[in-house]
Chain A
Amino acid sequence: MARKLLLEHINVPGINTLEVYRQKGGYRAVEKALKTLTPDEVVEEVKKSGLRGRGGAGFPTGMKWSFLAKPEGVPRYLVCNADESEPGTFKDRYLMTYIPHALIEGMIVASYALGANTSYIYVRGEMMPQIRILEKAIAEAKAAGLLGQKILGTDYSLELYVQPGGGAYICGEETALLESLEGKRGNPRIKPPFPAIAGLYGCPTVVNNVESIAAVVPIINDGGDEYAKIGIGRSTGTKLISASGNLVKPGVYEIELGLPVEEFIYSDEYCGGIANGKRLKATVAGGSSVPILPANLTLKYANGEPRSMSYESLSEGGFATGTMLGSGGFIAFDEDQCIVRNTWNFSRFYHHESCGQCSPCREGTGWLEKILHKIEYGHGTMDDIDLLWDVQRKIEGNTICPLGDAAAWPVASAIRHFREEFEWHIKEPVKSQQQNYGIANYAVPIEKAVEVKQDNL
């Protein structure tokens, strides 16, 4: 059984209440941090732990904290990004529903480290039950003296607020989140200035994912060095993976980074294999925005070595043969799934969620969706595939925020790896409406590249 840090006590009855949470060792990190460590020492511990942002980009959290500007007389803010809306990702909702105090404890420690006296948890508007759970948990913590004025008798005070979002995917982008939190329309800001310099209400702000903040708790309890021992290379610690799709046991799993992908999919401890005895065709490893990979490249690198679940290993081979860990939304597709339809579905999502501020994303996402819809329903031409490729290339990298990239990557990778399936939709317009392309050779291991000897040429 692998080590669990965040979900260790998930099955304890009543763990969502303060009483049980404290019995199981909760709020030790608050006591330790507030009473024995200075804020800078907390930041140092997090830096040592090598914790990387769990929201998608994987930027080292300790580094992000140390970038925070600290001008005199200006308040600083910590904002927790709980606007989890990426298709395929549901780990934060799970964490907030069952162990809300883990997030609140992490918020207290992180706010202390950053010197923030007001912190916000920005929760997606659709997650109303989770908002109520968090508010109840905050009230409990406040009654126990863990929040509010002079926490646990120290000089440190913190007010924690839960803010429901308006329910837009774009508000998960940190600057759009801040705009939304300020009560404006959730449009991403143009960077620079970065939030660490001028964020919420123009004050220095750190925006962190729910899981990153919750992970601060075990880091402070056990020490950063101890946390850094878990995992592999620069991917330290444990990560929550939201597994969905055609799996025997979909759900949220806490894994140690570095777990082989094959073990994650097929072992009974985790997903337990593909449902209904079918074969794996493709996976999206980190939420809808990351490139989709065929089964053979999911399990192994292009050179035949096994791939594992870590930031580096999943992105091995770049976008040509790799993908990204992203936010950990692992979606598995079995042999009966249609990649064209899935790509269209993702594009539809990005078209719907584009904020409309900058032109490539506003117009381009709609264009992608329309072309994909045309191909999926058997009206496509061969030119459309090239057009699709060209349009996604014009969007990628030319937008204000990463939503443009997120809309372009799934399309690009689907064409890169599944071009035959797109072509089949075009060549067999009638057949493609009645049956699936099937698994083809997507699960066949890739042959090892052999060096060609000069003599043979």
Chain B
Amino acid sequence: MSDLVKVTIDGITVEVAPGTTILNAARQIGGDIVPPAMCYYSKLEGSGGKCRTCIVKVSKGSEKDPRPMPKLVASCRTTVMDGMEVQNITSPEVLEARSGVVEILLINHPLDCPVCDQAGECDLQNLGYEHGLQKTRYEFERRTFERIDIGDKIQLHMNRCILCYRCVFTADQITNKRVHGILNRGDHSEISTYIQTAVDNDFSGNVIDVCPVGALTDKTFRFKNRVWFTKPVDAHRNCDHEKCNGKVTLWYKGEDVLRVTARKDQFGEVEEFICNTCRFEKKNTADWVIEHPTHIPDTSVIASNHYETFKPLPVIKENLALQKANQIELEKTAKF
């Protein structure tokens, strides 16, 4: 196939269409070599390049011009060339720079995960876990803002914001008029533009889903529950809105639907945007046709104890003491 270009990421070669970004090429390979992305969102045109967590090293530019790129590049905005060689997790330089970016993202973050609704499904939390330090080296006062209500359903908590601009792009592209922007400069920047006058749009709720952190939260779900205590279930309904197909994930606690979100893929991106009626108004099981439990990857805390069966490590089978310690889990497994 001559139309495809070959790119090698961490020693794994993949053939992709010309014009694909390094990040998307890595996503086609999948697994650990996919760079984390905090600001890039494949469904939002123009997003990416800002957070710098997806930086990679291009050790060979292309077949024609094998020179390496002088700096680390943002993989979400760099397109692949034929014969390009990229180093992500195999390059200590990249890992160091990435942990630097994570540290920098966290210096003004309030780290209020214990009271944050996003905890458990937060990209920044995951990133901090993988790359962050145990302790912060930042000893100054953190930047703070007042909370802002965007309409009666969404709350903006600027302290937690990492300025990924995803919600700005959503407001630009999904909604039919621009309602969102950035005020001020540098570390005083805030998501705004007459935000108090309310985002009055059928699709405004999607800014909650695209937010990688807990800066934009659903007021109908605020402080209701921790996400890892809820059970996600895929469901759909016939939505009247022409642009919404009504495919959602319902988050159950017992019999109650605590919240409704769009369905997310393995990279945490929504599959299709949903309208505000589906998101905020339809919170009865009767409104929905239930499909099946949502697949949650093992790595997520939401998966704990819910749907994935406990697979004992081989060592447990051989060690009596460990068997005793895991007795409850093993009994559960035996039931299935």
Binding site for B on A (CB under 8 A): 168, 170, 185, 190, 192, 351-360, 362-367, 370, 387, 390-391, 393-395, 397-400
Contact = CB atoms under 8 A, between A and B. Distances in A.
Contacts of B305: none
Nearest to A354: B186
Nearest to A404: B52
A448 B69 CA distance: 36
Q: Most chain-A CB neighbours within 10 Å: which of B51, B101, B163, B186? A: B186
Nearest to B190: A356
Given A356-B182, A397-B72, A399-B52, A362 B189 contact: yes
Interface residues on B, range: 20 to 34
B216 interface: no
A411 to B, nearest CB: 15
Interface stretch (B9-17, B102-110, B148-156, B228-236): B102-110
A170 B105 CA distance: 21
Given A363-B108, A398-B52, A398-B101, A168 B185 contact: yes
B137 interface: yes
Contacts of A190: 48-49, 74, 77
Contacts of B77: 190
Interface string B283-318: 000000000000000000000000000000000000
B268 interface: no
A358 B188 contact: no
19 contacts: A168-B185, A190-B49, A351-B186, A357-B50, A357-B163, A359-B101, A362-B163, A362-B189, A363-B108, A366-B108, A391-B104, A393-B100, A394-B101, A397-B72, A398-B52, A398-B71, A398-B97, A400-B49, A400-B50
A352 B97 contact: no
Contact of B103 (A168, A353, A394, A399): A394
A190 B77 CA distance: 8
B51 to A, nearest CB: 5
A356 B187 contact: yes
A358 B187 contact: no
Contacts of A370: 140
B138 interface: yes
Contacts of B104: 359-360, 363-364, 367, 391, 394-395
Nearest to A394: B100
A367 to B, nearest CB: 6
Nearest to B99: A394
B137 A359 contact: no
Interface of A is mostly: helix
Given A354-B186, A367-B107, A359 B162 contact: yes
Interface in B161-213: 162-163, 165, 181-182, 184-189
A393 B108 CA distance: 19
A195 B1 CA distance: 33
B55 interface: yes
Contact of B52 (A168, A355, A359): A359
Given A367-B104, A367-B138, A398-B100, A358 B189 contact: no
A363 B50 contact: no
Nearest to A365: B186
B49 A354 contact: no
Would you list the 5 A-B pairs with minimal beta carbon distance, nearest first? A394-B100, A356-B189, A190-B49, A354-B186, A363-B104
Contact of A358 (B52, B108, B181, B184): B52
A270 B181 CA distance: 49
A362 B97 contact: no
A354 B188 CA distance: 10
A122 B181 CA distance: 24
A366 B186 contact: yes
Contacts of A363: 104-105, 107-108, 187
Contacts of A362: 163, 186-187, 189
B185 A360 contact: no
Nearest to A186: B185
A359 to B, nearest CB: 5
A192 B19 CA distance: 12
Of B74, B104, B108, B188, chain A has the most CB atoms within 10 Å of the CB of B104
Given A356-B185, A360-B52, A398-B71, 4 more contacts: A353-B185, A356-B186, A365-B186, A394-B104
